[in-house]
Amino acid sequence: MSFESLGLRTELLRAVSEKGYSVPTPIQQQAIPLVLEGRDIMGGAQTGTGKTAGFTLPLLQRLMSSGKPEKGRRIVRALVLTPTRELAAQVNESVESYGKYLPLRSTVIFGGVKINPQIQKLRNGVDILVATPGRLLDHVSQKTVDLSRLDILVLDEADRMLDMGFIRDIRKILALLPRQKQTLFFSATFSDEIKRLANDLLRSPALVEVAQRNTAAERVSQVVHPVDKKRKRELLSYLIGSKNWKQVLVFNRTKHGANRLSEQLITDGITAAAIHGNKSQGARTRALADFKSGKVRVLVATDIAARGLDINELPHVVNYELPNVAEDYVHRIGRTGRAGREGEAMSLVCVDELKLLRDIERLLKRDIPKVVIDDFEPDPSIKAEPINTGRGGRKQGARRTNAKPQNGRPPLHARRNRGNRSRRSAE
């Protein structure tokens, strides 16, 4: 199947061709015709499978089919909500790239930067708005954006927004939108909570799911290297140096830990930078640009970056620390093996993390191969200790509420409360 067979406009086909794409991915093959028909959609696909183009291309065509933009003040006719700054910027880049030959305007708004330039762009008029929920509500409160005539709503990474505590913000935004609109849900996973939210919003949605839920990309090879916690940094430096890795994305659980590890790697003679929610937007943008250009060899990130980083041909992802939520493992390693390429994901696992590893393997429904590196054999006499989650020094497993974990995840209200405290830095 080709993009031409999907019924896309020549302007879109030209832009797709210039990006070097000729054959649509499975999610694009299934989603694009349905979106063009005006159907509401629940779209699920592993990260890196072309999900963004799966809704961006037909969205652009739908807007053009409904008439050219008004000559006077333009109105927001399509809204794309994303959980993080990086993902918002990435989606807007796709909108601009695919829509370069169309007379449509787009802009992106998120927190962490001055609001006045965003206000000016909105006043100039835009057809497509990409936004994080919190900053969008800031604009709503200042009456600098009008969503009353919206035609299309896209929730990208809807499950992540729910996990990060955006559900209240999302419901506030939904209350501002017209009842008659096309709604597209796109997400790497569909939890039961997401399904309930979708049932409230979507009208007879078409389900497009090209991969089993919560599965890791097939082209990503996975391995676990057992190692003592105190020797993880040494093993990481050894792997990078001995294998001559040029570009490595390393995940850490906490912001402080990400900063510390990047500094330690620099001490080891390896160029590194950290990216997380406490970094200014300028610092995050520079770190990512340096990593993509090869100026920085290692980018150390927290899970806030797991969904929003789009790095072409990223060869290696390392879980320096396993995530507290098993689903985040899938999103982390999905940064490699994108667009049909091969990728490699390694996890450095100490005795404290064996339960987290079991949760991940249970989610994947298979064991991950374990390979002990010579001279880094773990000491069997070391006992497991509680894991510091980075939230006020709280240890994993410490009593927080009387609620029990659900399917290996913290209770929903606990995840929402956690997200409410951190979402502004995420945006």
pLDDT bin (cut points 50, 70, 90) of residue 414 is very low
Residue 399: per-residue pLDDT: 36
CB 98 within 8 A of CB 16: yes
Residue 380 has pLDDT above 90, yes or no: yes
Residue 313: per-residue pLDDT: 72
Listed in sequence order, the DSSP H helices in 152-304 are 158-163, 167-174, 192-201, 232-242, 255-267, 281-293
The edge-to-edge listing of strands for the beta sheet with 272-275 is 220-226, 343-349, 316-319, 248-251, 298-301, 272-275
- Identify the residue with better confidence: 165 or 40: 40
- Among 185, 196, 190, 186, which residue's Cα sits nearest to residue 214? 190
Q: How far apart are CA 37 and CA 62, in angstroms?
A: 9
Which residue type occupies 110?
F
Residue 402: per-residue pLDDT: 40
Please compute Rg for the chain using Cα positions.
22
- Among 173, 149, 154, 180, which residue's Cα sits nearest to residue 75? 149
Q: How far apart are CA 110 and CA 130, in angstroms?
A: 9
- Identify the residue with better confidence: 327 or 38: 38
Residue 382: CB atoms within 10 A of its CB come to 13
DSSP code string of 32-46? HHHHHTT--EEEE--
CATH assignment of 4-209, among 1.20.59.10, 3.40.50.1980, 3.40.50.1950, 3.40.50.300: 3.40.50.300
Residue 386 has pLDDT above 50, yes or no: yes
Residue 365 has pLDDT above 70, yes or no: yes
- Identify the residue with better confidence: 280 or 214: 280
Residue 149: per-residue pLDDT: 93
Mean of the pLDDT values across residues 391-420?
A: 44
Provide the token pair at 52: 């963004």
- Identify the residue with better confidence: 265 or 337: 265
CB 69 within 8 A of CB 329: no
Residue 278: per-residue pLDDT: 78
- Identify the residue with better confidence: 45 or 374: 374
Residue 196: per-residue pLDDT: 79
Average pLDDT, whole number, for the chain? Answer: 84
- Check for a shared fold between 4-209 and 220-396: yes
pLDDT bin (cut points 50, 70, 90) of residue 403 is very low
CB 113 within 8 A of CB 187: no
Rounded to whole angstroms, the maximal C-alpha distance in the chain is: 74
Residue 348: per-residue pLDDT: 97
Which tens digits make up the pLDDT trace of 183-236?
998 877 777 777 777 887 888 889 887 755 555 556 788 999 999 999 999 999
DSSP SS3 for 412? helix
Distance of CA 52 to the CA centre of its chain: 11
Superfamily of 220-396 according to CATH: P-loop containing nucleotide triphosphate hydrolases (3.40.50.300)
- Among 374, 407, 76, 66, which residue's Cα sits nearest to residue 231? 374
Residue 164 has pLDDT above 80, yes or no: no
Which residue type occupies 162?
L
User: Hey, where are the domains in the chain?
Assistant: 4-209, 220-396
Residue 341: per-residue pLDDT: 67
Task: Output DSSP code: residue 16.
Answer: H
pLDDT bin (cut points 50, 70, 90) of residue 167 is confident
